[in-house]
């Protein structure tokens, strides 16, 4: 599991999950509650591990085509 800080109260959590005997990669936004614990939101995606390389390539392509900010 890996957490990526999105802002002061949210993270994107990347984790491997299993559902009905099938493994998936889950990218989900978590928010910090009043006690400081992170809770999942409905915002996120779950993909087959076989698609991870394709997703990474697509993200890199979009990053490379985006105009750079100063």
Predicted local distance difference test score (pLDDT) of residue 52: 95
Rounded to an integer, the average pLDDT of 7-25 is 95
pLDDT digits (tens, 9 = 90+) for 28-68: 999 999 999 999 999 999 999 999 999 999 999 999 997 87
52 is written with which tokens? 């991870």
What was the pLDDT predicted at 70? Answer: 62
Domain made up of 2-65: CATH architecture: Roll (2.30)
Domain segments of the chain as ranges: 2-65
Name the DSSP class of 54.
Answer: H
SS3 at position 18: strand
CA 66/CA 4 separation, integer angstroms = 21
């Amino acid at each position: 599991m890996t957490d990526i800080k999105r802002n002061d109260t949210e993270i994107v959590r990347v984790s491997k999950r299993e559902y009905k005997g099938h493994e998936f990669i889950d990218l989900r936004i978590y928010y910090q509650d009043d006690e400081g614990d992170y809770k999942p939101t409905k915002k996120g995606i779950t993909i087959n591990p076989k698609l991870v390389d394709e997703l990474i390539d697509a993200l890199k392509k979009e990053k490379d085509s985006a105009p750079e900010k100063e």
